[in-house]
Chain A
């Protein structure tokens, strides 16, 4: 379970007279339950990636609280990270290492033995349908193959909580479907807490048990797809989203 409470973060660019402050995240609140897929929906620049980076301990928030299974990310970052698997926006692999070596390296960094990490790589390859890729160097992998390897790498330590930042970016239909299927299995078979950010409506409609709508660095709405439709009085989810996310601008 991941809890985000009253999170805020401002970035400062430049210095002196050119100094500019951008409030990337102003007041974000949400809670992702175990055994459920939570979608973080928002337009570009809404603060989704910044929020997820703060959950992963990469950026320190200005204010607010972040809890992973009740462990504070700020107070005990290493313990919190051990319970998180993150597929971030940047998903670079090491081109001179094979897919298996990429996955095992992360397992080792999580304190697993080489044998355990390698066995886990095999198990994940079966789930993600990528056995044929395991012994190949990742140089020259397609987008879909990269995503699978990066996802397996993020899941190598079998984390209870899984965060995916716009995972379907650059994927074709088949790869997207495969990913969706993998996420469902993670939720149903092992009761994981899955959070993923996206700006694509379809993804949310097809996959999410819970939706959190973020706009201008704030949580503007939350609930199931049906609840959000009901609250806005719309029949089309895209219309509902536009109303929720851009309403203040008078769109």
Chain B
């Protein structure tokens, strides 16, 4: 154990002196939380502004007082679209769909000839797309009002044309609604933890081998397991530091939120940060061990990087199973490292309780990955040293 501690101290000193790499890793870990939150809140507040604006862009609405009157009664302001609206829509310079009304609209309407209006939008223009549904709903409302009026004038009950009244109700908790937006956060934290430990993990294995310092190291009277344990400790430490930093970075990150609604919905306090850590620390340990296992057989740092990238990609892709799973969360999800953390961190963000047995499962899975990897590394050490 004394030997393992010596190795740990040396590897930590070594890793800490690699200033440039370390700074990059730590900065990205600290920045990931606030940046994500700032970006999200910018998107949400923009959507809110748009929803609050209640504006309709139109062409030729002067010739349609009935429709114009309807829109104003719904609380909308009518704005005249610029002449080159089509180009502006395709260039995404105009953020609203445009309602085009013909000059004969009013006359046709009175004559009962079903005048035509056009909603102009561009599929590539996301902001305009968002507004399209709202505009179409508005127009449907106009149709309904006109129809009901006509029926009522003729003494026909409205229920004849509309058999069912449809109303929708959202039962999601406010946190769950926010979690739709914040669902990506766990993914990015997991990425930061996994990739942050990469450099250190490869340096203590493939790097040691490439420098030619592995062979002399093994000629010391130190048990293999102690060497591996010390090295693993140092790499895991780097990963865990990143986990701590990125988990905590969300606490001040909340201040950056521009959208008050999102800030109110995104409940992230010390409790959540702690829950994140409980989930992330075992993952950091398992990643460190896995990285070492992948790298120990590589002849050079470069070769190790290539194989580590593939291994880590598999790791980071596991959350996709959760995102794309048609049946939702499955009990076995908590047993897959990466996916398990993603699933449970999502639950924390949604304000759902996390069951201790699920946490135990993620820890167990991480411990198994760590143990298997470390045994493999200590068995491979001698063979790697001489080739």
Please give the residue numbers on chain A whose beta carbons come within 8 Å of chain B beta carbons, in ascending order. Answer: 53, 56-59, 77-79, 81-82, 84, 86-97, 101, 105-106, 108-111, 150, 153-154
Q: Which of B212, B215, B223: most chain A Cβ within 10 A? A: B215
Q: Does B221 contact A (CB under 8 A)?
A: yes
With both chains docked as a complex, state the minimum distance between the C-beta of B273 and any C-beta of chain A, in angstroms.
33
Please give the residue numbers on chain B whose beta carbons come within 8 Å of chain A beta carbons, in ascending order. Answer: 2-3, 6-7, 10, 13-14, 17-18, 208, 211-223, 382, 385-386
In the assembly, what is the distance between CA of A152 and CA of B219, in Å? 14
Q: Which residues of B have CB within 8 Å of A150?
A: 216
Q: Are B3 and A58 in contact (CB under 8 A)?
A: no
The one of B7, B18, B208, B223 in contact with A96, judged by C-beta atoms closer than 8 angstroms, is B18
Q: Are B6 and A91 in contact (CB under 8 A)?
A: no
Q: Which residues of A have CB within 8 Å of B7?
A: 109
In the assembly, what is the distance between CA of A59 and CA of B220, in Å? 14
Q: Are B13 and A108 in contact (CB under 8 A)?
A: no
Q: Are B221 and A86 in contact (CB under 8 A)?
A: no
In the assembly, what is the distance between CA of A87 and CA of B219, in Å? 9
Q: Are B218 and A58 in contact (CB under 8 A)?
A: yes
With both chains docked as a complex, state the minimum distance between the C-beta of B206 and any C-beta of chain A, in angstroms.
12
Q: A94-B213, A96-B18, A109-B3 given as contacts; is B221 within 8 A of A58 (CB)? A: no
Q: Are B221 and A108 in contact (CB under 8 A)?
A: no
22 A-B pairs with C-beta separation under 8 A = A53-B215, A53-B386, A58-B386, A59-B386, A78-B221, A78-B223, A86-B219, A87-B216, A90-B212, A90-B213, A90-B385, A92-B216, A94-B211, A95-B211, A96-B13, A105-B6, A106-B216, A106-B220, A108-B6, A108-B10, A109-B217, A111-B221
Interface of chain B, main secondary structure: helix
In the assembly, what is the distance between CA of A96 and CA of B204, in Å? 13
Q: Which residues of B have CB within 8 Å of A79?
A: 221
Q: Which residues of B have CB within 8 Å of A81?
A: 219-221
Q: Which residues of A have CB within 8 Å of B10?
A: 94, 97, 101, 105, 108
Q: A53-B386, A81-B221, A101-B13 given as contacts; is B216 within 8 A of A90 (CB)? A: yes
With both chains docked as a complex, state the minimum distance between the C-beta of A24 and any C-beta of chain B, in angstroms.
11
Q: Which residues of A have CB within 8 Å of B216?
A: 86-88, 90-92, 106, 150, 153-154
Q: Which residues of B have CB within 8 Å of A106?
A: 216, 220
In the assembly, what is the distance between CA of A95 and CA of B17, in Å? 10
With both chains docked as a complex, state the minimum distance between the C-beta of A63 and any C-beta of chain B, in angstroms.
19
Q: A53-B386, A108-B10 are in contact. List 14 more A-B contacts (CB 8 A).
A: A58-B219, A90-B212, A91-B212, A94-B10, A94-B213, A95-B211, A96-B17, A96-B18, A97-B10, A97-B13, A109-B3, A109-B222, A150-B216, A153-B216
The one of B13, B221, B386 in contact with A82, judged by C-beta atoms closer than 8 angstroms, is B221
Q: Which residue of B lies closest to A104 (CB)?
A: B10
Q: Are B18 and A58 in contact (CB under 8 A)?
A: no
In the assembly, what is the distance between CA of A110 and CA of B222, in Å? 7
Q: Which of A56, A91, A105, A109: most chain B Cβ within 10 A? A: A109
Q: A58-B385, A97-B13, A97-B14 given as contacts; is B221 within 8 A of A110 (CB)? A: yes
With both chains docked as a complex, state the minimum distance between the C-beta of B205 and any C-beta of chain A, in angstroms.
13
Q: Which residues of B have CB within 8 Å of A92?
A: 208, 211-216
With both chains docked as a complex, state the minimum distance between the C-beta of B145 and any C-beta of chain A, in angstroms.
76
Q: Which residues of A have CB within 8 Å of B218?
A: 58
With both chains docked as a complex, state the minimum distance between the C-beta of A104 and any C-beta of chain B, in angstroms.
9
Q: Which residue of A lies closest to B15 (CB)?
A: A96
Q: A91-B212, A93-B211 given as contacts; is B219 within 8 A of A56 (CB)? A: yes
Q: Which residues of B have CB within 8 Å of A110?
A: 220-221
Q: Which residue of B lies closest to A153 (CB)?
A: B216
Q: Are B219 and A88 in contact (CB under 8 A)?
A: yes
Q: Are A94 and B215 in contact (CB under 8 A)?
A: no
User: Which 10 A-B pairs rank lowest in CB-CB distance, beginning with the nearest?
Assistant: A92-B212, A92-B213, A90-B212, A92-B211, A81-B221, A96-B17, A109-B220, A90-B215, A78-B221, A108-B6
The one of A77, A93, A108 in contact with B213, judged by C-beta atoms closer than 8 angstroms, is A93
Q: Which residues of B have CB within 8 Å of A88?
A: 215-216, 219
Q: Which residue of A lies closest to B215 (CB)?
A: A90
Q: Which residues of A have CB within 8 Å of B208?
A: 92
Q: Are B211 and A89 in contact (CB under 8 A)?
A: no
Q: Which residues of B have CB within 8 Å of A97?
A: 10, 13-14, 17
